[in-house]
Structure 1
Amino acid sequence: EDYTAGFPWHPHRGIETITYLVEGEIEHGDSLGNTGVIGSGECQWMRAGSGIVHQEMPQAAQRMLGLQIWLNLPAKDKMATPKYNGITKEEVPVVNEPGVEVRVLAGHYKDVKGATQGDNVKATYLDVTMEAGASWHLETDPGQTLFIYAFYGEAIFGKDEQPTASRQAVLFDYAQTFSAKAPKTATRFVLLMGSPLKEPIAWGGPIVMNSKEALNEAFQELEKGTFIKEAGVKA
């Protein structure tokens, strides 16, 4: 039950945080004034931009399953206005195919538009569930970066048919078509894909900038109490 200690109030700058919960509940609050609960099948897509302070507190549950991804903002948007976007389960399109279910959180899947398209970073975010014995293929752009995180099950991914177990993340160098097979067990994984920024990265804890100077400035502002630059966009 150590997860119930959660993540008390902490800052972010220069990124977007995407918290996706498959099962469970997380209470959240932020410096924009947002408060609420992220429930099963829901997503919190938050642009930290110039600076936000928030907390995420998981609630005790029979099962807690989810993940948080950070999307690096391009240099021109590092200091963008903070913004919160809560995505409910009902807002996520679901595509059913033989032996496969695809939830389209962001971007597009075939002709289906996801729950969000992103304001600053255009990413594809899919939650894929496969029955045992199923296979799945996705047409991709070789110029983009693609990785998966496996929630559960055993699957074979990519052109090299790399076996992947539960709770593993894999970054792929792949061709025009990405493939997945679940030969023995039901499998669930998320797939994220987007264009690399190809910019310098200066990372310090919850803050990601383009230079050490900008990173140091952010931490100095935290100490001075000048970190929050603007009210931001409340949900």
Structure 2
Amino acid sequence: MTAIDQTPHQTSRSERAFRRSSDAQIAHRGIAARTSGRVHGPVNRLVSPRVAGSYLKPFVFLDYFDFQSAGETMFPMHPHSGIATTTVLLEGGMRYEDTTGASGVLEAGSVEWMRAGKGVWHDGVPLPGQRLRGYQLWVALPEAFELAPAQSQYLQSTEVPQVGNVRVILGQYRGVRSKVNSPDGIQYLHVSLKAGESIRLEPPAAHDVACLHVGKGALTSADDRIADELVVFEEGEAAIQLTAEDATDFIFGTARKHPHDLVLGSYSVHTSHAALRHGEQEIARLGEQLRASGRVV
């Protein structure tokens, strides 16, 4: 729910650590790149257009957050267009509101889906005295949806379908489909494994982009160890075999690669400059309404 960071900066150690594999001739689906992210206060930005975005489109941004809440507004009312955000709240609780008219409280295990489309404003206020842990993913929308009306969905933990140790956040897994009305071509899972437990994840047909981030614990994939980092797998449709060293939870995303260049605004991602101008005009219009009502200054 934070703005795109477009300010120039020196390449960080974690960004230098993000690297492409030089060995493409390996039998298993190996790791093509990895990063420990870039920390902004309580948020660790794992993916951005500068770091991994070109490898992972339509996954444009991915933030991991883990902090003790004092009840202060973490994400003040702010706009988006052209993208959809998915917040997976693993621990803690948060009040939410958006300009589609939705408001309420999200609890641990819940999911927020916000398709910004042509423009929306929303906010999130952590409940005080709780540890807040989870993810927020930004997805670049297809042309057919990037200027569509905004749409929001808020699922409590009991509404998120589960197959064994896999929670289906977006798309489908083993015939079970998420209740989120996301575009075709995206799969996003939250997986929990016990120590020594293994899982074989088979991406849907034509999903040539795949990545995961370990929030707790550690995984092995062939000879690679993955802990407290995001990894990008080599492009292709091959399955990925993972084993947990100890109790581990992680998010796993696959997708058909986004065919467009990323046209960026301060809070927006579109497929063209014309679409970006349209989205920014709608954001400005909604902002004027919010200021007139005293909701933002």
TM-score by length of 2: 0.67
What are the residue-to-residue correspondences of 1:110-189 with 2, within 5 Å? 110-116=174-180, 118=182, 120-140=183-203, 141=205, 143-157=207-221, 160-166=222-228, 168-173=229-234, 176-183=238-245, 185-189=246-250
Using the TM superposition, give the Cα deviation of residue 65 of structure 1 relative to its aligned residue in structure 2, in angstroms. 0.9
**CA distance in 2 between partners of 1:132 and 1:125 (Å):** 23
Maintained 8 Å contact 2:119/2:283 = no
Q: Give the letter for the 1:92 counterpart.
A: V
**CA distance in 2 between partners of 1:25 and 1:134 (Å):** 29
Tell me, yes or no, if structure 1 residue 88 matches structure 2 residue 151. no
- Report which of the two has the higher share of strand: 1
Q: Partner of 2:131: helix, strand, or coil?
A: coil
How has the CA–CA distance of structure 1 residues 193 and 143 changed in structure 2, closer, same or farther, with 3 Å as cutoff?
Answer: closer
How has the CA–CA distance of structure 1 residues 220 and 114 changed in structure 2, closer, same or farther, with 3 Å as cutoff?
Answer: closer
1:231 corresponding residue in structure 2: none
Using the TM superposition, give the Cα deviation of residue 62 of structure 1 relative to its aligned residue in structure 2, in angstroms. 3.4
Maintained 8 Å contact 2:190/2:249 = yes
Maintained 8 Å contact 1:9/1:53 = yes
**CA distance in 2 between partners of 1:121 and 1:47 (Å):** 14
Using the TM superposition, give the Cα deviation of residue 151 of structure 1 relative to its aligned residue in structure 2, in angstroms. 1.1
Which digits, 9 at most, give the CA deviation of each residue in 1:158-190, with x for residues without a partner?
xx5432212x2221115511111112x211001
Please point out which of 90, 93, 102 is paired with 1:22: 90
Maintained 8 Å contact 1:51/1:227 = no
2:137 corresponding residue in structure 1: 69
Using the TM superposition, give the Cα deviation of residue 113 of structure 1 relative to its aligned residue in structure 2, in angstroms. 2.7
Q: Give the letter for the 2:267 counterpart.
A: P
TM-score by length of 1: 0.83
Which digits, 9 at most, give the CA deviation of each residue in 1:83-125, with x for residues without a partner?
11111211112222xxxx111222222233333352x344212
Q: Give the letter for the 2:227 counterpart.
A: A
**CA distance in 2 between partners of 1:149 and 1:80 (Å):** 30
**CA distance in 1 between partners of 2:180 and 2:241 (Å):** 24
Maintained 8 Å contact 1:24/1:39 = yes
**CA distance in 2 between partners of 1:219 and 1:48 (Å):** 12
Which digits, 9 at most, give the CA deviation of each residue in 1:131-159, with x for residues without a partner?
111111012246421111211111123xx
Q: Partner of 1:77: helix, strand, or coil?
A: helix
Using the TM superposition, give the Cα deviation of residue 194 of structure 1 relative to its aligned residue in structure 2, in angstroms. 1.3
Maintained 8 Å contact 1:156/1:164 = yes
Using the TM superposition, give the Cα deviation of residue 20 of structure 1 relative to its aligned residue in structure 2, in angstroms. 0.8
Cα RMSD, aligned residues only: 2.4
**Identical amino acids, percent of aligned pairs:** 30
How has the CA–CA distance of structure 1 residues 175 and 144 changed in structure 2, closer, same or farther, with 3 Å as cutoff?
Answer: closer
**CA distance in 1 between partners of 2:121 and 2:207 (Å):** 34
**CA distance in 1 between partners of 2:263 and 2:95 (Å):** 30
